[in-house]
Structure 1
Amino acid sequence: MSKNKLSVVTFVAAGLLALSLSACQKQEGPAEKAGKEIDKAVSQAGQQIQKAGDSIKETAK
């Protein structure tokens, strides 16, 4: 096989491998979506608590 043909075959094989791996990706279920929403809510609550703590510190000064 010439180098060009080998390069093309290698490129096509790599592309097919990447395509097949991306197609096998598991879909996100309802529990995973709920978990992400809970994580987001906890993060936002933590930010609000941090702001409240900073406000209390400023008031105490």
Structure 2
Amino acid sequence: MRKIALVAAASAAALSLAACSESTGDAAEATAEEAMADAETNMDEAAAEVEAAGDEVSAEADDAAAEVEASVQGETEAEAQAD
């Protein structure tokens, strides 16, 4: 009788561990998917910021070039930008 009770208790413990392992695995998978989604969002935002910064630098470079051209050629910046 003791052996039957011991086997039943061991079986119940094994089933409990199996259920915990499955839920832990599911939680880990969900966490990994959320991390992947966060990383994708962050990459998209970073790409947009880099593109905006590039546009700003390009515009400032164009303005600086027009200013130098105007100074060298003795014309207004508007005339230099039109060239």
Tell me the TM-score normalized by structure 1: 0.54
- Quote the RMSD (CA, aligned, Å): 1.9
Q: Distance in 2 between matches of 1:29 and 1:56?
A: 41
Query: How many residue pairs are counted as aligned between the two chains?
Result: 36
Give 5+ residue unaligned stretches, structure 2.
1-10, 48-83
Match of 1:43 in 2: 29
Higher relative contact order (CA 8 A, sep 6+): 2
If each structure's helix is expressed as a fraction of its own residues, which one has the higher value?
A: 2
Give 5+ residue unaligned stretches, structure 1.
1-25
Shift of 1:40: 0.1
Q: Distance in 2 between matches of 1:42 and 1:29?
A: 20
Percent sequence identity over aligned pairs: 6
Q: Which has the larger radius of gyration?
A: 2
Matched residue type, 2:21: G
Tell me the TM-score normalized by structure 2: 0.40
